[in-house]
């Protein structure tokens, strides 16, 4: 569903909140953002979104609520489906790459489970435009972090995801 910013500004508060929760499942973020309507333009909305997210981060429960809105990448079959187009777009790929891709996908599934076991929340990353190998590299680079560092990393990635979803929702992306 795409709306104009003007349409969004005129929604009932409950409807606007419900719509925002499709972009980020933090109730504190959505409620705070709705309270700042009307927005003059998409940049004004994004600035208020960033500020609302900054406030929401003061409570770990708000972050976990937002992270829970993402599916866990842990099923090998769903990972193969997600990254199937990546191998098609790589013209230089050789015939043996399919086996390597399966290995990457299996490693990504295992890494996601290891991450969840260590931190208690799923691996959050702005995935747009990233291959399975890039995702695995990011996951492996972040898994040695301590809880506080990784919570901050995941929160920053969540904000990038939310900003893109808002832009798509309002036809600005």
Q: Where are the domains of the chain?
A: 5-67+162-169, 76-157
| Cα dist from 8 to 21, 45, 118, 171, 172, whole Å | 13, 11, 39, 11, 13
Respond yes or no: is residue 48 known to be catalytic: no
- In this model, does residue 86 exceed pLDDT 50? no
- In this model, does residue 85 exceed pLDDT 60? no
pTM of the model as a whole = 0.83
**Predicted pLDDT at 131:** 84
Rounded Cα–Cα distance for residues 87 and 172 (Å): 29
- In this model, does residue 100 exceed pLDDT 50? no
Q: Are 108 and 132 in contact (CB under 8 A)?
A: yes
Catalytic residue among 10, 36, 48, 70: 70
Per-residue pLDDT of 23-58, as tens digits, reads 999 999 999 999 999 999 999 999 999 999 999 988
Q: Which CATH architecture has domain 76-157?
A: Orthogonal Bundle (1.10)
């Amino acid at each position: 569903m795409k709306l104009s910013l003007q349409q969004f500004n005129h929604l009932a508060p409950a409807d606007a909140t419900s719509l925002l929760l499709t972009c980020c499942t933090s109730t504190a973020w959505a409620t705070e953002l709705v309270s700042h309507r009307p927005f003059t333009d998409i940049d004004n909305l994004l600035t208020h979104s960033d500020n609302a997210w900054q406030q929401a981060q003061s409570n770990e429960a708000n972050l976990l609520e937002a992270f829970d809105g993402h599916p866990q990448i842990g099923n090998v079959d769903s990972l193969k489906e997600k990254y199937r187009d990546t191998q098609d777009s790589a013209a230089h790929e050789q015939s043996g790459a399919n086996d390597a891709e399966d290995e990457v996908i299996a490693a990504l599934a295992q890494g996601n489970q290891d991450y969840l076991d260590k931190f208690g929340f799923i691996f959050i990353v702005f995935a747009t435009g990233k291959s399975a190998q890039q995702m695995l590299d990011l996951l492996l680079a972040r898994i040695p972090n301590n809880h506080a560092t990784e919570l901050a990393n995941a929160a920053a990635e969540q904000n990038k995801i939310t900003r893109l979803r808002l832009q798509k929702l309002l036809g600005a992306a």
